[in-house]
Amino acid sequence: MKLSISYWRLKDRYYRLVGVRCEECKNEFFPPVYVCRRCGSRSLTDKEMPKTGKILTYTELKETLAGFEDQEPMLLGIIQLDNGVRILGQIVDTAAENLSIGDRVKAVFRKIQEHGSSGQIFYGYKFVRT
């Protein structure tokens, strides 16, 4: 799989949290959907998500997937953004013992993975406590 190609397609999603908004009922979604989950409309247009929210749940993963070894142990969370949208992302610049469900976080732009062989670096959103 050429990660670089899917990454290139998704840059706006990864860099600025561009999801979609339903033209009919105005609900917002991230990751983007093809059909509105609330009203069934297919009229959806790109919309940047708010960058702040709260932690719904989190974990400290001891052994990461290949390509993330330098980030062990990795903190991951499911974040509810201030528009109600829930997304998954890494939580950084803190340790597990400092985290609680309900903590406020904001999205920041960081390096996600680096490919050893090609040296390619992939960027995207992560979360920090506020």
Partner 1 sequence: MSRVYVASVGYTTVGDHWNKSILDLAIEAGFQALTGAPKVKPEQLVVGNMFSGLSSRQEHLGALVVNGLGLTGLPGFKVEAACASGGMASLAVFNMLKAGQIDSALVVGVEKMRDLDPGEVSQALCAAESAEYTQFFGASFVSLNAMLARLYMYEFDVSRDDLSAFPVLAHRNAVNATHAQFRKEVSYEDVARSMVISDPLRLLDCAPVGDGAAALLLVSEDLAGQVKGPLVEMAAAESATNRFSLYERDDMLDFAATRLAAHKALKSAGLSINDVDYLEVHDAFSVVASLSVEALGLSKKGQGARDAREGKYARENGLATNCFGGLKGRGHPVGATGVYQLAETYLQLAHKAGPNQVDDASVGLAQNVGGVDTTAVVHVLRRS
Contact positions vs partner 1 (CB under 8 A) = 1, 3, 6-7, 10, 13-14, 31, 37, 56-68, 71, 74, 76-78, 86-90, 96, 101, 112-113, 122, 124
* The dihedral sign for the CA sequence 63, 8, 13, 52: positive
41-49, 56-64, 84-92, 111-119 -> range binding Zn ion (CB under 5 A): 41-49
Q: By the 8 A CB rule, do 18 and 12 touch? A: yes
Nearest residue (CB) to partner 1, 50 versus 67:
67
Residue 87 binds what, of Zn ion, partner 1, none (CB under 5 to 8 Å, by partner type)? partner 1
SS3 content of the chain, % helix, strand, coil (to 5): 15, 45, 40
Gap between the Cα atoms of 43 and 59, Å rounded: 36
Q: Torsion angle, CA of 97/98/101/105, rounded to 10 degrees?
A: -140
From the list partner 1, Zn ion, none, partner contacted by residue 41 (C-beta under 5 to 8 A by kind): Zn ion
Task: Choose the contact partner of 59 out of Zn ion, partner 1, none; CB within 5 to 8 A by kind.
Answer: partner 1
